[in-house]
Structures are given as C-alpha cells and as structure tokens.
Chain A
Amino acid sequence: MSVTVYVPRDAGALSLGAEAVARAIASEARRRHVDVRVVRNGSRGLYWLEPLVEVETSIGRVAYGPVQPEDVPALFDADFLHGGKHVLGHGPTADIDYLKRQQRLTFERVGVVDPRSLEDYRAHGGYRGLAAALHMSGEEIVQTVLDSGLRGRGGAAFPAGIKWKTCLEAPSQRKYVVCNADEGDSGTFADRMIMEGDPFVLIEGMTIAGLAVGATQGYIYLRVEYPHAQRALEEAIAIAEAAGLLGDDVGGSGKAFHLEVRMGGGAYICGEETSLLESLEGKRGQVRFKPPLPAIEGLFGKPTVINNVVTLASVPIILDRGAGYYRDYGSGKSRGTLPIQLAGNVKRPGLVEHAFGLSLRELAEGYGGGTASGRPIRAVQVGGPLGAYIPASQLDTPIDYEAFIAMGGMIGHGGVVVFDDTVDMAAQARYAMEFCAIESCGKCTPCRIGSTRGVEVIDRIVAGDARERNEVLLRDLCQTMIAGSLCALGGMAPFPVLSALDHFPEDFTGAADKANA
C-alpha cells in the first residue's frame, strides 16, 4: 500500500531546499521499491523546522525536520515511513507544542491540505461557507460578517461588515471585489502562506464577498515579489472555474463571479487601497483623496469592496460556523483570531494564529524561544516599517488593537520582528526615513521631501553635529509629516523614528559626543 509523504511547496520551504528533498524522497523510494506518494502541501508555519516532512501513519501525521536531501537515506533506514525514530523526528505533528497551543481558524487547512486539490479542500470543510451563503440574501451575509466582529487584517482594522454594507447599499450595475495581496510589510508572510497553502479559501471568501455586495468581478492584486503565490492562485482559479465554482453560474446558483490575478509593480505604496486601485486601473500608484470611499466609488469609479487576503480568507469559516463561533475568540473589540507572523532574530520564527490577547512576551519568548543569536531581546517592531519600536521593557503588552493604540503603536498586518541587543536604533530610525523616501508616491510634500530631510538630519545627529538642535528639528519634522501627510506612509513613518529616539536615546549620541565622553 502506498504511503503518503508531505513535502511543502511553500516558497519559504523551497528557499531552504524543499524541492531537492522532495526529489530525494521520490528517488530513494524508487530505489528501495517502496510505494510512496509525495504530496506538496503548504507550510505549517514552523519555519525553523522547514523543510518539514510529514508522513501519514496509523497514528496520524508524523513530522521530521529540518530535512536536507542527504538526510533522506537515513530517514528511510529509520523506517520513517512508519513513523520510526530519527534525530530529526518530532512525533505527531498535531502534538508539537508550537502548533498545539495555537487556535487556527483561518489557517486550519494551511500545511494540511494539497493546495491543488479541490477534493482535499472540500474534505476539510471547504466550500461549506459558500454553500451557506448561496441560501442567504446579500443583507444576511453582510449581517453575519458584521456580527462576527471581523476587522480588516491588512492594517487599518476597519470592520469588514461596515465596508461591505456600504458597498451593498451603493446603487450600481457593476461592482468589484478586490483582494489586497500586496503584503508589503517586513515581517509579514501570512497572506503568502494562505495563497500558496490554501488558495481555495481566498477564492471562496472573495466569491462570498461578491454574493454579499452584488459584485460579479474580482481581482487579486498580487505583489510581483510573489511568483510562487501567482502560480498557486492561477492554478486554483482554473480548477474552481472548471468545477463551476467561479464563472457565470457559481455553484449552479445562476449568479456570476469571475476572478483574475493582477501583478503589481514592486511599489510599497500600492498596498494602500486607493493607490492599489489606481495601479489596477493601469496608472501610477498614487494615493487618492478620500472621500469618496472605495466602497462607493472604487475601481473604475464603481463601488468596490477591498480587503486584505487574511480578512477575505476568514470569511468562509464565519459563514460556515456562524458569526458567534468566530466572535467568541478574542477580547474587547478585537474579535476572532489574528495570524501573527513572528520573524527577525528569533529561535523559532513562524506563523502563530491565536485569539487576540496573547502578550508580546509569550510570543517572542514562549513561541519564539528568545533570540536566534542567544543574546537578550532589545526591541520588537510590530506592524511593519511604519510600526513603532517597542523596548524589551514593554513586552507584556497584550496583542490587541486597543492596547497597541494606547501604547502609540499598531498591530498592522500582525508582523512581529525581534531584534537583539546588537541593533543600532539610530540606524533603524534612519532606515525608516530612507524607506519612506524611496517608497513615497510623491503626492504630498511632507512625505516626499520630509523623509529625505529626515535622513539628513539623523545623519547629522549621529555625526554629533549640533545634536540637540537637530533633534528638535527632527521631532518637528516628524510632527509635520504626521499632521500634513495624506496617507499613513508619510503619516506613520515618524513612529519608528520617534519610538527609537524616545526609548533608545543612547544610540543617537553622535561620534563627537562619544569622543568627548
């Protein structure tokens, strides 16, 4: 009888040699005349163990990792095909602590199923949300999403249901659903993992959104840095079309929904929803003034729902199991689960999906196991390049929207980047300004010019040139950017800068000061 072995095709696993491992397993099996079926799954998100090979056994799936091609003969010798003991073995995958302690809703199938198999998707509860939605009116679907408390996971945390309601109520013959798959923040990879590991859940979520607001065309705006996700999505779309789950007659309902992937051009600002729409229209990705809201006047001037990948991928389970099921995870106004992405200098980087409320310390020290370098944690940046740097002394902050706002930070897309004590916070502050200068869409002066000025001023401070006067200047510049920018790129780039100045002033003492000390 054939044994099923899982080897991820996730881009992260591939970047560590998963392709060669899959080939080695297949050829070693041939050599030994054993019948092995290799399934290319997504990643479980336990990246320090990637490439993570799993074997289907009588006691469930058993994990081995990180596996390199040269380990493969020894794994066969150890009878890993029947869960045999090996130094790379971790026992049943489901019992691995990192995974067991999580609450996976949106990610329940990622790393589990074959992303190219519609049957697999269905066998694991897929398309039950759409089946439910097909029996509901647009208003009922929107109400369910409202009741679930789902807020946008792409950054602004705006309630998804309110956005959908606005779009549903906007009168128009033509409406659009746009998925923001630009995932530009450093430290984030949840969107990528879903698109590569469970693309049907995004397709299903977008289809439900289409039914809810009355849109017949969807676009996934995908960043050009994600070629693997592009292939995974295009294959899944073709499969869904062939099965009648996309197209003119979705699931035999008589309702149409078409879906297309569009590649971006490598510009961070195109993650901002209005510049994304400009880009989809074939223009420079410059930010639009709001109002009008995209829900009323969006793509090609038509009402448009625009949501992040994780937001849309969370919709099927809400429709399937009910608003209450989802809402009961989380706390306060932060409902449901948040897929947190743990990266940077940590021993065990990866994806942690958990109800809101986990503390940064539980995340970085518990899940993450502390720094990879073994040195003390000095700072954590949450929310990408526009997120504040949080000093180690504030690691007990719970991860929920309100707690972060109270602290002057933001959760953003849920990316957490850990730094050890070798980090130079003045260099990080300079980088934040430089990034803003490189990625500015150029529409407003505080952001376009201010960021370049910011780099210059930080350079002067670090060089010990009139440090105090220049620090006043820098803070003033930051206030101007915060107050005078049209969007959050210019309006929030000062946050990492100011947090670095406030919490790590010692790093800004210039070379001249140091010489005099």
Chain B
Amino acid sequence: MKRAIDIAVLPAIPEHIRVAVLEVTGRLKDMPGALLPILHGVQDALGYVPEEAVPLIAREMNLSRADVHGVITFYHHFRQRPAGRRVIHLCRAESCQAMGAVTLEQHVKRRLDIDFHQTTADGAYTLEPVYCLGNCACSPAMMMDGELKGRMTPERFDAWLEAEAP
C-alpha cells in the first residue's frame, strides 16, 4: 500500500480533484513525455488545473512541484482557475486584424463588460485572446467552446449572444 503512505505526506486535496487526477495519471503516466497529455486530461475533466492538483501530479510523475507548475504556466491553454460556462476565443492575429478584428474585439469586450482573461460577473462567459485559429480565409474568426465561427461581425456576435441567452 505504497500509495496510501505517500498520500499522507501530501497536503489535503479535495476528493473530486484527487479522484480525477489519479484517474488521468493512472491512464497516461507511462506514456513517453506524459505531462502535457496529463494536463490536458486534468483540464478536460475539471475545467482547469487546480493548484491542489500540482503536488499529486508531481508525485505521480516523479517530478518536482516547481517543474509541474513551470509547465502549466508556460502554456496559454492551461488555466489555473475555473472558466465561465462558455469560453470565447477571439482571434487577434494579422489576417483577422485586416478584416476588422480590432473593432470586433472592442465590441465584444464592451458587450460582455470584461477584458481578456476575465469572466463575466454571472459566470457565463470567459474571454480569451488567441493568435490565429487557422480560419484566416474567413476572417475575423472566433471559437466558442471549440466551435469555430468565421466572418464574425459585431452584429453576428450579438445575434449569437441573444440566441445563446437562457
């Protein structure tokens, strides 16, 4: 019962986080270069990579906590706090700029009353910048929870928001 003994030296971890992390690490930790797949797995399961998960991931991977923390913070994709119910990725790169992304960006921020990396007060939307979605032939582009939208305009954004509203 090696695991039970080791757990005792870890800080207290909320049960649902512990279960989710061990499920992911149990499945993936033996693959070569497993850390990124594991972080993806944890974020897919929990919506973010909680601080409390770091010591457990580190132990399962035989890495230092600093190593794991360093990797999480290096990549834009991994979040350390929960996001809103829907995540909007707005493209800020050149092709989209050439087609009005700056105006769109200002409109979206005003409409949601948040800046990049923030979540609306009701927890409905998180807004993130992205530097190209590979949809440059249909600029400006945005992604809503993995669903790509092309030729976006302030009007189309508003229409989408209204259609989404509960």
Chain A interface residues (CB < 8 Å from chain B): 11-12, 14-16, 45, 47, 50, 183-189, 191-192, 223-228, 262-268, 279-285, 300, 341-345, 349-351, 372, 381, 384-385, 415, 417-420, 423, 428, 431, 435, 438-439
Contact = CB atoms under 8 A, between A and B. Distances in A.
Contacts of B77: 224, 264-266
Most buried by A among B34, B89, B134, B138: B134
Interface of B: 32-37, 39-40, 61, 70-71, 74-78, 89, 93-99, 130-139, 141, 143, 146, 148-151
Most buried by A among B35, B61, B97: B97
Most buried by A among B77, B95, B149, B151: B95
B94 A428 contact: yes
Contact of B75 (A192, A227, A266): A266
Most buried by B among A15, A50, A420: A15
Contact of A418 (B39, B98, B131, B143): B98
A384 B94 CA distance: 8
**Main SS at interface, chain A:** mixed
A120 B91 CA distance: 35
B120 to A, nearest CB: 22
28 contacts: A11-B134, A11-B135, A14-B148, A15-B141, A15-B150, A15-B151, A16-B151, A45-B137, A183-B134, A186-B93, A186-B95, A186-B96, A187-B136, A192-B134, A224-B77, A225-B89, A265-B78, A267-B75, A281-B33, A285-B74, A341-B137, A343-B98, A344-B95, A344-B139, A417-B95, A417-B136, A428-B97, A439-B131
A349 B99 CA distance: 12
B150 A16 contact: yes
B115 to A, nearest CB: 15
Contact of B98 (A16, A191, A267, A423): A423
A263 B36 contact: yes
A500 to B, nearest CB: 12
Contact of A343 (B89, B139, B143, B148): B139
Given A11-B148, A381-B94, A185 B138 contact: no
Contacts of B35: 282-283
Given A263-B37, A265-B75, A268-B131, A15 B94 contact: no
Contacts of B143: 225
Contacts of A385: 93-94, 131
A386 to B, nearest CB: 11
Contacts of B89: 225
